[in-house]
Amino acid sequence: MDRRKIAAALALAGLTAHAFFLPISIAGMQIALAVAAAGVLLSPPRPLRTPLDLPAVAFVAVAILSDALSPHGWPDLAAATLWRSVLGFFVVAHALRLLQPRAPAQLILWAAGGLLCASILGVLQYRTGLDLVHLLGLRQEPALVQAPGAEGRFGAMGFFTSRLTFGHNAAVLLALFGGALAARALPRPAAIVVGVACGAGLLAVALTFDRAAYLGLLVAAIVVLVRTRHRVLPLVFAGCAALAMLHPAVRARFRSAFSAAANPDRLFIWSRAREIIRDHPLHGIGFANYPRVCGPYYDRVDPRFAMRTWAHNLELSTLAETGPLGLLALLWLLFAAARMLLRSASPVAVGALAALAAWLTMAQVHDVLYDTKVMYALWFSLALGWQPAPPPARAG
């Protein structure tokens, strides 16, 4: 077997496992990604370029520079490299170039299989609080959380430890799957399986009570409708939404997403973020330093406020940590990703664009940039949606 065939085998094995583990295990998806990366290193496709090379490097460089200039020092290395998930895009994108054109559809099928497993577990968790990972001895303490507004029930979290992480991760994947189905990017047998996974996933997301995921899926459905003018998908989405709204707790959570009175915590966090930006207007407090710096700002107003992570808004967190230059670099990266998908000839591009729209919607009220389980799903979606132009024909 020659080097090219070995590289393709590694790429296929790694990407298949990475796709399946996306909604299941951060360790599994990272190990699988390393296998795919080995295939790329063994036989790199040429040219080794993507439309996101420069903007991604710019954002990472600004993130590192902001920490180097920060008066608050460097964060822990694990936090300082939260941008590392972007490597997933480059590994998936280049590994796909070693495989057959049907590979994106196959990977969507595997990712749908993983989401189906996680969704079934999430639905069971709603009634039982079951933590399968704990029962298997892979987690020391059981993870469960009371479902908001549903006494005696639990929020669906699948194999993860957070209902919000599961909801955000699943919403990105569902947007990808829905766009692929609407664009008819999947063969019929695979489309049926992915459709079943979508149904289970939508139910599980409803039972996460994750309002941002609800809104993200709504925006994703609009993107798919505009890009494909698919007549059936909006009806399916509306039907699923109507069924979900029959649950009083789901209905109440959705309504509360649009109420300022129901979200005083976010108003508090956003006000403190603006104070941090005001005090550090040039290069910010350093990438990933927000949780280390926000304490005094919160304590001046409410020392008992316990939610001390980031600003729950992509733009505010980025501006506070990396200053205007960091925000510009991030916007460049997101703009480049959207333009890449709009120019792509891949039938999966619609789903990837919907995934990006869902993620950006959720990023307005949650810290999804710092949740690697969600970011790997996003970079996977973007890589599947990119179809590089074929090399020019040789003369003669």
Residue 204 lies in a domain: yes
**Which helix (DSSP H) or strand (DSSP E) does residue 254 occupy?**
helix 248-256
329 with 86: CB under 8 angstroms? no
Structure tokens at 364: 């307005």
Measuring CA to CA, which residue among 236, 246, 136 is closest to residue 195? 236
Q: What is the pLDDT of residue 366?
A: 93
The tens-digit pLDDT sequence of the chain (396 residues) is 688 999 999 999 999 999 999 999 999 999 999 999 999 999 999 888 999 999 999 999 999 999 999 999 999 888 888 888 999 999 999 999 999 999 999 999 999 999 999 999 999 999 999 888 888 887 888 888 888 878 889 999 999 999 999 999 999 999 999 999 999 999 999 999 999 999 999 999 999 999 899 999 989 998 998 888 766 666 666 666 666 666 665 666 656 555 555 567 888 999 999 999 999 999 999 999 999 999 999 999 999 988 888 999 999 999 999 999 999 999 999 999 999 999 999 999 999 999 999 999 999 999 999 999 999 999 999 999 998 755 554 444
Residue ranges making up the domain that contains 158: 52-269+271-277+279-385
Residue 175 lies in a domain: yes
Q: What is the pLDDT of residue 396?
A: 40
Distance in angstroms (rounded) separating the CA atoms of residues 312 and 315: 9
Non-local (6+) Cβ contacts of 392 within 8 A are none
- Provide the CA 107 distance to its chain's centre, in angstroms: 16
- Phi then psi dihedrals of residue 186, to 5 deg: -120, 145
Non-local (6+) Cβ contacts of 192 within 8 A are none
Residue 178 lies in a domain: yes
Residue 14 lies in a domain: no
What is the DSSP annotation of 16-39? Answer: HHHHHHTTT-HHHHHHHHHHHHHH
Query: Helix crossing, 211-228 with 232-245: angle to 10°?
Result: 160
Residue 394 lies in a domain: no
Q: What is the pLDDT of residue 147?
A: 86
- Provide the CA 312 distance to its chain's centre, in angstroms: 15
Distance in angstroms (rounded) separating the CA atoms of residues 234 and 179: 11
What is the DSSP annotation of 270-335? Answer: HHHHHHHHHHSTTT-S-TT-HHHHHHHHHHHH-TT----S--SSHHHHHHHHHHHHHHHHHHHHHH
Q: What is the pLDDT of residue 394?
A: 47
Residue 42 lies in a domain: no
Distance in angstroms (rounded) separating the CA atoms of residues 379 and 358: 13
Distance in angstroms (rounded) separating the CA atoms of residues 252 and 396: 68
Residue 390 lies in a domain: no
Q: What is the pLDDT of residue 395?
A: 45
134 with 161: CB under 8 angstroms? no
Q: What is the pLDDT of residue 192?
A: 95
Facing residues of 395 across strands?
A: none
Give CA separation, 383 vs 89, 178, 378, in Å. 5, 16, 9
> How wide is the angle at C-alpha 176 spanned by C-alphas 175 and 180, nearest 5°?
115
**Which helix (DSSP H) or strand (DSSP E) does residue 356 occupy?**
helix 349-362
**Which helix (DSSP H) or strand (DSSP E) does residue 66 occupy?**
helix 53-69
> In a 3-state reduction of DSSP, which class is residue 154?
strand
Distance in angstroms (rounded) separating the CA atoms of residues 63 and 50: 21
Q: How many CB atoms lie within 10 A of CB 328?
A: 16
Q: What is the pLDDT of residue 373?
A: 96
Residue 39 lies in a domain: no
348 with 190: CB under 8 angstroms? no
- How many domains would you assign to the chain? 1
